[in-house]
Amino acid sequence: MAPSAVLFDMDGVLIRSEEAWLRVLEDAGRRFRGSPVTREEFAPTFGQGTAEDVRVFGLRCTPAELDAFYLEHLPAYAGEVWINPDARVLLEALAARGLRRAVVTNTVSALARTLLGAAQLLDFFEVLACADLVAHAKPAPDLVLYALGRLGLPAGEALMVGDSRFDRGAAQAAGVRFVGLGLEGDARIERLGELLPLLPLTRGPASPGAR
């Protein structure tokens, strides 16, 4: 079945904010365990949820306290966020084809809106499925199922684009086809712009986004 919607992971797909997150986690480590989180610790964990950050990095705080810290401190590093040059063109093309669009991210809502707004991509999305809206972050299926529920679509009418094992696990658990960006999945692409040839040509125009 041709998809009616495309779900996107945010970080690593639409934008890339690893350096900004590393900086804020260095700060969080100093605050909550007495030593900065190192690049070696951070690299294999990027994309996990806040509860896992607390556990994996041994931070002496609750996930809610860490989210509050992120909200306060991450904007200071927003200048280090890279915007995928393929993202805007792709999203415009999806809107023109009538395909609906959602973001599925382990980032909390306020930060996701800040980062996507700064990248001038926020208005392309009907739904933001963010970590503070569900019980379990990716790789659990909760965020994908939340997005599908808000879109009013079954799993078979969507596909998800992601770049991590967390994205792939969430999509698979929700029964959604997965396109890996530099990662194996039901299909694999190396650049975001390669997604368009995999999709149907027309479904009729849709509005850029309505939340």
**Matching residue, tokens 């705080």:** 61
pLDDT in tens, 142-185: 999 999 999 999 999 999 999 999 999 999 999 999 999 999 99
Rounded distance between C-alpha atoms, residue 211 and residue 209, angstroms: 7
**Which DSSP symbol is given to 200?**
-
CB under 8 Å to 126, separation ≥6 — which residues? 100, 101, 102, 150, 151, 209, 210, 211
Buried-exposed string 66-99: b where 16+ CB fall within 10 A, e elsewhere: bbebbeebbbebeeebebbebbeebbeebbebeb
Burial of 114 (0-12, 13-18, 19+ CB in 10 A): middle
Q: What's the pLDDT score for residue 24?
A: 95
Mode of pairing for the β-strands spanning 82-83 and 15-16: antiparallel
Cis peptide before 139 (omega within 30 of 0): yes
Question: What average pLDDT does the segment 34-58 reach?
Answer: 93
Rounded distance between C-alpha atoms, residue 53 and residue 157, angstroms: 33
pLDDT in tens, 57-99: 999 999 999 999 999 999 888 888 899 999 999 999 999 999 9
* Catalytic annotation, residues: 9
Which pair of tokens denotes residue 174? 């929700």
